[in-house]
Copies of this chain bind each other. A is one copy, B any other.
Amino acid sequence: MRIAELSRRSGVAVPTIKYYLREGLLPPGELTSPNQASYDEHHLNRLRLIRAMIDLAQVPVARVRAVLEALDSDTLSLHERIGVVHRAVTPSRQLTAGDSARTAAALQVQELIERRGWAVEPNSPAITTLVETISVLRSLGQDHLVSFLDSYAEAVERFTELEVAAVASRDDPDQIAESVVIGTILGETLVASLRLLAQENISSRRLR
């Protein structure tokens, strides 16, 4: 198909598709002549994935590119690809809390990880975010929200296992990689909206 059809079928404007091509988010179409290229279902799927990451999961274009490069890589292991995705969905943060507050939070996170027996890199982006979040919650006088950390971790662990089980049910390694990436990124959006619904429910029952 040509670019007009790709645009119509994906709902993405032609200039935007050209922009994604320029930015390397979308592989170039196969040139049939110097100024004529043809695109296929693979491009259409890619485009849907790109829009989902940008619109639904709010991933910036530069990080979408990093994710797609990891997805297309034939040298990275699945575990390494997950690392790329985690870095892509974690905004880089400049540390804000005071030193003592942060080391206290870091210690608490360290203990949590040990209690749960989690095998994670000590400098993974999620740890930085978690430590920062806990120390900010403390500084805002919201220690009570932190006190349930273990229970949150347990509940989260449960559905993460479900996700992984769902992903592992596929057999083609390429499909698994794709599911891991999509599951990590869109799963976040899914869980977040379920959480808001659960909150709204409780709020409507208790507080109104």
Chain A residues near B (Cβ < 8 Å)? 11, 45, 48-49, 51-52, 55-56, 58, 77-79, 82-83, 86, 89-91, 93-94, 96, 113, 116, 118-121, 124-127, 129-130, 132-134, 136-137, 139-142, 144-145, 147-149, 151-153, 155-164, 166-170, 179, 182-184, 186-208
Contact = CB atoms under 8 A, between A and B. Distances in A.
Contacts of A160: 195, 198-199, 202
A46 to B, nearest CB: 10
A47 to B, nearest CB: 11
Given A55-B93, A145-B163, A201 B136 contact: no
Contact of A119 (B89, B170, B205): B205
A205 B96 CA distance: 33
Contacts of A77: 207-208
A190 B149 CA distance: 9
Q: How many monomers of this protein are in the complex?
A: 2
A195 B183 CA distance: 12
Contacts of A155: 155-156, 158-159, 162
Contacts of A206: 164, 168
A66 B86 CA distance: 30
A186 B78 contact: no
Q: Which 3 A-B pairs have the closest CB atoms?
A: A126-B196, A160-B198, A118-B201
A124 to B, nearest CB: 6
A51 to B, nearest CB: 6
Contact of A124 (B129, B153, B200): B200
A186 B136 contact: yes
A169 B58 CA distance: 34
A97 B164 CA distance: 26
A136 B52 contact: yes
A152 B78 contact: no
Contacts of A164: 199, 202-203, 206
